[in-house]
Amino acid sequence: MILSRRSVLVGTAIAAATPLRFARGEDTIKIGGIAPITGPAAEAGKFMQNGAAMALEKINGAGGVLGKKLEWVVEDDATTNPGAVLGFSRLVSRGDCVAYTGSIRSTQVQAIAPDVLKAAKPVMFGGTNPGLTQTGNPWLFRTRPNDNYSARVIADYGVNTLKKTKWVIIHSTDAFGTGGKDALVANLSKLGITPVLVQGYSNQQTDFTPVVLAVKQANPDVVSSYFTFENDLGIFARQLRQLGVTVPWVGSPSIINTTALNLAGRALFGTYGIADFTPDASPEATAYATEYVKRYKANPDNQSTWLYDALLILANAINTAKSTDPQEIRKAILAVKGFKGTEGTYNFDEKGDGLRGYNVVKNVNGKIVFDKRIEFTD
Amino acid sequence: MAIFLQLLFTGLGIGAIYALVALGFVLLIRAASVVNFAQGQFAMVGAYMLVVCLNVLGLPYLLSMAISVVLMAVFGVIFAGATYWPLRHRGGLPVIISTIGASIFLENIVLFLYGPSPEVLPGLFDSPGIQVGQVFMDSQYLSILVAATLLVVLQYFIFEKTLLGKKLQATSQDKEMASLLGIPVAAMILFTFSYSAMLGGIAGMLVAPVLFVSVGMGGLIALKAFAANIIGGYGSIPGAILGGLALGVAETMGAAYISVPYKDAFAFAMLLMFLAVRPQGLFGEKISEKA
């Protein structure tokens, strides 16, 4: 094949001109969404599109919204903050989206938050940094439990069930990892424990030897973690095992993500995970997982479920509000009580948080085994 | 001490990868005065070729590597034809921009053809590594170090001891003079592209079991390799190797003894320091315009 300039140009032009859409036609109600189609989380972007496709089929199969079909228009965020801001502003400037979906990455939600305020339409997101819904931005709604809860569950499980006292916390230094770390330190301190090591790292590393050696020197009896990207988690996991650290490890949800399980393989056997979504947690989760496996021949994870729930909640809210007026949709979302989604039962509070519980799971030779679900009321 | 040695081993292993990619950079700078910003993507393309041969076609490991290396050589020529050849008379900048374009194109075409799932490649050896005293030597890092050493020796031999190498050197020193002497300058430049793509590809295949194979893997390495180049001396071959190793060790040590979150900062602080104090780098000549 001879790659001439022209063929390259034509190829690029075709690629650029092909928009990613899930339903076509004029008479639809549109939800705009950003997703990592490219960049380090591109696989998660694919999972999101899978989840969205399933949600749209369910919504439109049941009559759509306000008698029209629902459509999810996606823009690439390139897994970066500038990409997220750019993608979101492209969606806003289309002018025809009645609401939006954001990112599962807290850092990116933080990046688009000022534009969300300006757009003044509901934005569903999956980032778990507790602060995201605490800044008084009325348009942000979270379809995952925030890290105040994940940290409480990690601390509770490690201290009361595993009976561990010498803690190491490994965390990404981005908005998600730092928020998680802060929440975990606070929750451990309530139980009278000061971690022997709190170690941050910046995303997208080539090597974790310095971190692993620091863990080894601290001589903990339990390792806990808030990893943002699965490739970082995979490299860390393998080096941790290679350098002989075998103590129990309780990780934030990324530790049981499909991508992480594929990359790290054996290195994650025996670890514990705090999961917002796991197939055995509820009948809704099981039904979703069965359908997802049938369609995509792969196991679902929270990368698709938060968006699936987000679209169902939005459709439900628009139908309840009988309007696409942003204020009306907002009121309808806040009024959601007892909505059974794949991630749990949603009861939105006035801040925009829908869920307050996590599941504890264990990686038994690569299979994720459900242990228990811990729900909070406060 | 055990910790220091462990860090040194890892630092050298990761540094050897920077060095291999930096070597590819240097060769193109010397032969064609091109700073190839797609050098990191060469590593990514090489790793994906290995994934296809190994995981998709199910070929044996060494055969897969051999096929991938040959394919990379061909790829290098195609790359030169697309990015360098049409612009070769327009000075350095258009070619540099065109390699930046190519790097974006390569990432997206692989994403399009292969899909976004990152891949796991097994290491060259089944054993995860060996324990020497208190130092654990990861077998893949050992492979990387051995392969890098072999490639450097091979390269020295080709460049210094063969007629082909002399022709390549002549081309890099003065293209007009070389062509007057009957050296096929165009062929030499194409050969350099091809060789540099092979080097990049090998670096990618070697590092794949450590870093996993993903579309973005090249970008992670290339920036460091470029810094290694400057530290070692812009356009210097021994400089690229030592610069790469020094960078790998410096960032690993800096992370362990000073601060992990600022690991990348150590690499680039070192770069800044060199630019300020010794801009010609470790082995660079005092930069003067080539006649």
> Residues of A338-370 as b/e, b for ≥16 C-beta within 10 angstroms?
ebebbbbbbebeebbbbbbbbbbbbbeeeebee
Does residue A29 share a domain with residue A116? Answer: yes
Look at residues A248, A244, A236 and name the one whose alpha carbon lies nearest to residue A273.
A248
Q: CA A52, CA A54: separation in Å to the nearest integer?
A: 5
> What would the pLDDT profile of B81-132 be if each residue is shown by its tens digit?
999 999 988 877 899 999 999 999 999 999 999 988 889 998 888 888 888 8
Inside any domain, residue A352: no
Q: Residue B290's pLDDT is what?
A: 47
Identify the DSSP state of A345: E
Distances (CA, A) of A273 to A19, A322, B15, B214: 37, 40, 34, 25
Write out chain A residues lying below 8 Å of B260, CB-based.
199-201, 210-211, 214
Beta bridge partners of A76: A35
Does residue A181 share a domain with residue A59? Answer: no
Does residue A160 share a domain with residue A18? Answer: no
Angle between helices B61-79 and B39-51 in degrees, nearest 10: 140
Inside any domain, residue B154: yes
User: Mean pLDDT per segment of 10 residues, for chain A of length 378 residues?
Assistant: 52 50 68 93 93 96 93 94 96 95 94 95 94 93 94 94 95 93 95 95 91 94 94 94 92 92 92 93 95 94 95 96 94 94 94 93 93 86
Does residue A226 share a domain with residue A80? Answer: no
Task: Tell me which residue in A38, A205, A234 faces B212 most closely, judged by beta carbons.
Answer: A234
Residue B60, class by beta-carbon neighbours within 10 Å (0-12 exposed, 13-18 middle, 19+ buried)?
A: exposed
Q: Residue A12's pLDDT is what?
A: 52
Residue B41 maps to which CATH number?
Answer: 1.10.3470
Amino acid at A33: G
Give yes or no for B128 touching A (CB within 8 A).
yes
Inside any domain, residue B117: yes
Give yes or no for A7 touching B (CB within 8 A).
no
Inside any domain, residue B290: no
Opening angle at CA A238, ends A233 and A242, nearest 5:
145
Tokens 């549109």 — which residue? A30
Residue A244 maps to which CATH number?
Answer: 3.40.50.2300
Does residue A130 share a domain with residue A20? Answer: yes
Q: CA A357, CA A377: separation in Å to the nearest integer?
A: 9
Handedness of CA B199, B201, B202, B208 (dihedral sign): positive
Does residue A165 share a domain with residue A127? Answer: no
Write out chain B residues lying below 8 Å of A42, CB-based.
111, 116, 214-215
Mutation target for B interface from A206, A257, A299: give the one with most B CBs within 10 A: A206
Q: Could you give the number of structural domains in chain B? A: 1
Inside any domain, residue B284: no
Instruction: Indicate the helix (H) or strand (E) that contains A346.
Output: strand A345-347
3-class DSSP assignment, residue B210: helix
Inside any domain, residue B283: no
Contact A342, A288 (CB under 8 A): yes
Mutation target for B interface from A172, A207, A238: give the one with most B CBs within 10 A: A207
Q: How many CA atoms lie within 13 A of A110 on its CB side?
A: 15
Does residue A343 share a domain with residue A257? Answer: no
User: What's the domain range around A288?
Assistant: 5-145+282-347
The pair of structure tokens assigned to A252 is: 């934030």
> Residues of B276-285 as b/e, b for ≥16 C-beta within 10 angstroms?
eeeebbbbbe
Does residue A164 share a domain with residue A154? Answer: yes
Inside any domain, residue B142: yes
Does residue A334 share a domain with residue A318? Answer: yes
The pair of structure tokens assigned to B42 is: 């060469």
Residues of chain B with pLDDT below 50 are 288-291
Does residue A164 share a domain with residue A28? Answer: no
Q: Could you give the number of structural domains in chain A? A: 2
The pair of structure tokens assigned to B136 is: 């654990």
Residues 265-304 of A with CB under 8 A from B: 265
Q: Residue B289's pLDDT is what?
A: 46
